[in-house]
Amino acid sequence: MSTVTSFDNRPTSVEPKREGGPARWLKAHLGLLPTFAALLIFLAMIVYGEIAYGRILQASTVSNLLINNAHLVILAVGLTFVILTGGIDLSVGAVIAFSSVAGVLLTNAGWNPWFVIVLMVLIGSLFGLISGVLIQFFDVQPFIATLAMMFLARGLASMLSTTPERLADESPMRGLATQFKLVDGPRVNDLVITPGVIIAVVVVLVAVFLLHRTRFGRTVYAIGGSEQSSTLMGLPVVSTKLWVYVISGTLAGVAAVVYTARLGSAQNITGIGWELDAIAATVIGGTLLMGGAGFVLGSVVGALVLGLMNVLITRDGGIRPETTTIITGGILLVFVLLQRAVASRRRE
């Protein structure tokens, strides 16, 4: 938890005084409250799951949670950048569909798989770049520009193929989903990890470094705080906003690689609604949709909350799958209400 505090270097935050006690510290770091709440709910869900269903806090469940949500974590990290600047990226789900369908088709056509993987990531970057250029140079609103890219990517994916495209069994891309046993537990209870999970972890670490330890990251926060002031301060607003969409697009490409490798197939309807999941994860993690406040690690927790929720629903068995989206909506509502309460207290 101490790591989280050290990231809070926004100019508005006040250094906590040593003699203040926890209440005072919390007052100085009200911006962290939603993220803490997300963490708390995550822990509460784990405890509840452990008591009600059991076998939650065990190596295999944790491994599966990470493996199955690696792509969502990567997407949420990308969206955190965009949302921090006050923008939005609706195109990520569709970009995954196009990138993965194109990737599988090219691999099966005999292209060098490593080259294809790079190409899949670059496809994402390209969509991000187009969104960024439309937004920055042609004054198109982020919602509309990324909506256009969403439609474009989904339409192109559908033109490529409308049936599930299977990745060949011997394709090296599947190697990204190889399960390495870190701890060989009893029976199937092993702590396993895949290159996909490692990629997600690396993405998170790089994003944390970028946002909290570099000039670029501070500019991102500054733009979210007030774009006008940032421009007046002489910050590179134009290039930063462009980069933010390129990053989001690139990470969508990375997520496409990780997801395709795990699933071993791709389809034009892959990733429908994932942009909403990623936005929800980001918001649950404490990032304000208006921009300027939030944490990458919060978004990771948000993504894991959504993932764990699915695990619990599956475990319960009594909850009908239809209600999943209702629960997601409910959790989202609780978190934004919390943010709202925090925001109003801060204004006082």
Partner 1 sequence: MTETQSAPARTAARLLRTPYFWGIVAIALLLLVNVLRDPGYLAITVNPANGNLVGNLVDILRAAAPILMIAVGMCLVIATGGIDLSVGSIMVVSGAVAMEFLNAAAAPDSVLAALAAFLLAVAFGAILGAVNGILVSVVGLQPFISTLVILLAGRGLAKVITEGQNTAASNEPFRWIANGYLVGLPVVLLFAVLIVIAVGLLVRRSALGLMIEAIGMDPKAARLAGIKRRSLLMTVYIASGILAGIAGVFATASVMTVDVSRTGYQLELDAILAVVIGGTSLAGGKFNLGGTVVGALLIATLDKTVVFLGISSSATPAFKAIVIVVLCLLQSERVRQLFRQRRAPGTFVPSKETIPA
Q: Which residues bind partner 1 (CB under 8 A)?
A: 88, 94, 134, 137-141, 143-145, 147-152, 154-156, 158-159, 162, 268, 276, 279-280, 283, 289-290, 320-330, 332-333, 336-337, 340, 344
Least CB distance to partner 1 at residue 310 (A): 14
CB atoms within 10 A of CB 155: 13
Is 10 strand, coil or helix?
Answer: coil
Among residues 15 and 139, whose Cβ is nearest to partner 1? 139
CB of 298 to partner 1, least distance (A): 16
**Helices in 175-295 by DSSP H: which ranges?**
195-213, 215-225, 227-232, 237-263, 274-284
Instruction: Compare residues 57 and 144 and give the one whose CB is closer to partner 1.
Output: 144
Cβ contacts of residue 64 below 8 Å, gap of 6+? Answer: 311
Nearest to partner 1 of 117, 156 (CB atom): 156
- What DSSP state is assigned to residue 265? E
Closer residue to partner 1 in complex, CB, 133/191:
133
- Give the C-alpha separation, 66 to 303, whole Å: 10
> Residue 76 CB, nearest distance to partner 1 (Å)?
15
16 within 8 A of 28, measured Cβ to Cβ = yes
Both tokens of residue 54? 């059991």
Task: List the beta bridge partners of residue 191.
Answer: 183
Work out how close the CB of 299 gets to partner 1 at its nearest, in angstroms, rounded to a whole number. 15
Q: What is the spatial distance between Cα 78 and Cα 197, in angstroms, rounded to a whole number?
A: 16
Nearer to partner 1, 154 or 212 (CB): 154
Q: How far is the CB of 42 from partner 1 (least distance, A)?
A: 19
In the chain, which ranges are E strands? 165-166, 180-183, 191-193, 265-266
